[in-house]
Chains A and B, each alone.
Chain A
Amino acid sequence: MHWTNTKRLLAGLAVATTLSTVALALPVEAASLRMAWSQDATGLDPHKQTAFSSLRLLELIYEPLVRLDEKLNVVPAIAASWDFAADGKTLTFKLDPKAKFTNGAQVTSADVKASFTRILDEATAAAARSNFLSIDTIDTPDPETVVFHLKTSDAPILVAMATVNAAIVPASEITAGSIGTKAIGSGPFKLDSWDPNSKEVLSANADWAGGKPGLDGITISVLPDETAILASLRAGQTDFALLNDPLVATLVPAEANMQLNRVPGLAYNVLQLNPSRKPMDDLKVRQAISCAVDRQQVIDTALAGEGQVTGPLTMPSFAEDPSTLFCYKPDLDKAKQLMKESSSPDGFTASVIAATGEPPYAANEAQVLQSQLAQIGVKLDIKMMELKVYVDTWLKGDFDMAVALNGGRPDPYPMYNRYFTKDGNLLKVSNFVDDTLDSLMKQGQAETDPAKRVDIFHKFEQHLVEQSPWIWLSTGYGYTAQLKTVHGFVGSPTGTLFGLAKVTID
């Protein structure tokens, strides 16, 4: 009797399960997009958040004055037009009269001024503050006009404004102190609810100045395991997903009902050497390492081929053919010769830090580099660290070498100013001061002629690669996977999901 009852119970459970999961797998709302990602946003204050997922969420809710399109051109957002004075010291914006916050209020020049005042206030701890230090005063001659007066000529400031970290928030919410708790923006979607590390529910903002979004809303689920995200797509339970792991992404094209969107990103994989430590203070040692590294092999082995060899400049409008850069063709003989002439002719042992799972291939990368550098007598001791421990160690510059995935910017100035100028705030991380780099960086900031800026930054790149404080390896791709019922998504090198504003679903 007992056995029969147990069997009955188990059989009953199995049937109930199958029925319920079948019921659950059916699409619920056709016009609402079911999205999944493995890491959730960490907060709602657009001026403070820097985590990848936070930016991706906030870009759907908030708008900056200008944004970058998929080719990284500056295009209107809240500002309908702008004008940079010839001396590069006055920047005037005309706001879009249709721009409205989701609380119904018009976006005015007062909101712009209040937002930038908030960003510049040290007490806010705004992430992008350092990009706006050239701002002297902000005038608001009328509700639709904002004039930024700059202390020095600052060409990259326009691109620096094209980020959600410089979003325009309602002045009234700043006064109320509710930025970060209530998300009131002027973007294509409104945030209805957020359950951290579980899900976000967004609904379309019908009053969006950019036109009515193609979706009624977006529900974002946090599925920490990307294999589970793939399974969820396969079962039709998720329409659209953000993927980080190239190995998972490469499985998507094999699925008949799915499509992979792959966009080359601006972020770069790099082996950071610490030139303040021996023997990395020796140029010959650094160059020997650069010549011994086979960048394509790192991509093929550690990243399953998912990447492109890159120099320091990853943005298409500035990038050079990497094969023309110093020792980008692996040259083991030259590397050995350089080591022989260096302060460590017999090789040395150094530790290399890497973050567990961030990027997902960090450990593989460290291992390939370990085997490549062993050929010139450099013995690498790999130290894997939990991400936050790694970040802490990295910020202190407490490493011999570091395998890193560093974020890119659409302009070289904000991307490398922090590391390679004498007053860069991440000098402690790069530990590399060089007069030529410092001077080229300053020229690049002041120059307003685009062609001349490209020339300046090419010189910067060539000198940087020759000095080899870091060994730039590759850029990866930003991946999104979607069901074929989803149409119209356009990705961007910045990784933004703003393209979801124009997406429709069958």
Chain B
Amino acid sequence: MSYVAQRLLTFPLILLGVSILVFVAIRMIPGDAITAMLGTEAGLLTPAQRASLAAYFGIDQPVTTQYFRWAAGLLHGDLGISATYGKPVLQIILDRFPLTLELALLSMLIALLTGIPLGVLAATRNERPSDLMVRILAMLGQSTPSFVLGLLIIYLLSVWFGIVPTMGTFTPLNVDPLANLGQMIFPAITLGFAFAASVTRISRSAMLDVLSDDYIRTARSKGASQRSVVWGHALPNALIPVVTLSGVEFGYLLGGAVIVEQVFALPGLGRLVLDAISQRDYALVQGTVLFIAMNFLIVNLIVDLLYVVLDPRIRLGGK
């Protein structure tokens, strides 16, 4: 059986585990959809009123019955109905996903386009002032929380330029590309900054390793130019740790960047799941977490496949 098929077969098992975990975890948090909706006024409900609301929110049944009912729906591709939105969970997720995907891709692009060249620059000028500067910048990037950077960007834009990115709603790329970019670029920079710092550090150290390898010395002795040694021979081999890092990070980003979405008021998956938890919208939390887990599995599979492309010596499947 091919490696990919083997991996795909493990997906349902992992998702089953995730589904049970999230189902139980969300119910272990004190408070339910009724207190989430009514707040302290929930204390004024009579037992009959409470029972009626519990039936409305579908939390009147035993937890196991609730789980099996939900799991049975899953098999038909039905993630349930959100109590907050009154819409199918899958539809809400698919509405929010384009934003999250775009934000992840854009911040990834920014991080790789700045991180890799900076890492290479630092490695080729090891221990020189430019290396030191890159390292300081990377340290700064890694240690600045995204909410600080996000708020700082919003503040500076609004005070100095009297502009802010459109907040609250999302203009899809296919509707108005310019408006979309105007809205997404600053959140993407905010997210990409910290990630670029990690990429810089990883690619710098990987490049330093590779540059001291024998085959590089051989390439140089055969008269290869510095450019071709660095970009042609060394970089592809130094990219494996970068790909691993990017895969993991991309998987996280597809789960939504909660803080950045919160600061820039972007209706993405991160805020969706945060609001759903706070409103105890069980179906929405379960559906979204499952969707995020699925994304993570797919991204990891793609990363594994990329290893083979980058380094033909790697054989997947242990043979």
Say how far B134's CB is from chain A's closest CB, in angstroms.
14
State whether the Cβ of A24 lies closer than 8 Å to any Cβ in chain B. yes
Of A47-55, A106-114, A146-154, which binds chain B? A47-55
**CB neighbours of B271 from chain A (8 A):** 197, 224
Say how far A25's CB is from chain B's closest CB, in angstroms.
5
Give the interface SS of chain A, mostly helix, strand, loop or mixed. Answer: helix
Query: CB distance B31 to A21 under 8 Å?
Result: no
Q: Which of A24, A42, A196 contacts B166 (CB 8 A)?
A: A24
Query: CB distance B182 to A43 under 8 Å?
Result: no
**CB neighbours of B157 from chain A (8 A):** 21, 231, 235
Q: Which of A411-462 contact B (CB under 8 A)?
A: 418, 425-426, 428-429
Of B33-41, B64-72, B199-207, B301-309, which binds chain A? B33-41
Number of interface residues of A (CB under 8 A): 67
Q: Which of B42, B159, B167, B182 contacts A20 (CB 8 A)?
A: B182
Query: CB distance A17 to B49 under 8 Å?
Result: no
A131 closest partner in B (C-beta): B44
State whether the Cβ of A105 lies closer than 8 Å to any Cβ in chain B. no
Bound complex: CA of A391 vs CA of B40, how far in Å?
A: 6
**CB neighbours of B267 from chain A (8 A):** 195, 197-198
Per-residue contact bits, chain B 220-233, to A (CB 8 Å; 1 contact, 0 not): 00000000000100
Say how far A302's CB is from chain B's closest CB, in angstroms.
21
State whether the Cβ of A86 lies closer than 8 Å to any Cβ in chain B. no
State whether the Cβ of B130 lies closer than 8 Å to any Cβ in chain A. no
Most buried by B among A3, A42, A429: A42
Of B4-12, B135-143, B240-248, B258-266, which binds chain A? B258-266
Bound complex: CA of A276 vs CA of B124, how far in Å?
A: 72
Bound complex: CA of A422 vs CA of B178, how far in Å?
A: 64
State whether the Cβ of A406 lies closer than 8 Å to any Cβ in chain B. yes
Q: Which of A30-51 contact B (CB under 8 A)?
A: 36, 42-43, 48-51
Range, interface on chain B: 35 or more
Query: CB distance B168 to A199 under 8 Å?
Result: yes
Most buried by A among B117, B164, B165, B267: B164
Query: CB distance A197 to B275 under 8 Å?
Result: yes
Query: CB distance A125 to B49 under 8 Å?
Result: yes
Q: Which of B156-174 contact A (CB under 8 A)?
A: 157-159, 161-170
Query: CB distance B278 to A223 under 8 Å?
Result: no
Q: Which of A366-397 contact B (CB under 8 A)?
A: 386-389, 391-395
Q: Which of B35, B44, B50, B186 contacts A130 (CB 8 A)?
A: B44
Q: A3-B117, A23-B178, A392-B31 are in contact. Are A221 and B37 (CB under 8 A)?
A: no
Interface of A toward B, CB cutoff 8 Å:
2-3, 6, 9-10, 13, 16-25, 36, 42-43, 48-51, 122-127, 129-130, 181, 195-199, 221-225, 227-228, 230-232, 234-237, 386-389, 391-395, 406-407, 418, 425-426, 428-429
Kindly list 7 other residue pairs between chains A and B, CB separation below 8 angstroms, not including A225-B151, A228-B164, A392-B31: A6-B114, A20-B183, A123-B48, A125-B49, A221-B168, A231-B164, A388-B35
Interface of B toward A, CB cutoff 8 Å:
29-31, 35-46, 48-50, 52-53, 56, 84-86, 113-114, 117, 151, 154-155, 157-159, 161-170, 178-179, 181-183, 185-186, 231, 262-265, 267, 271-272, 275, 278-280
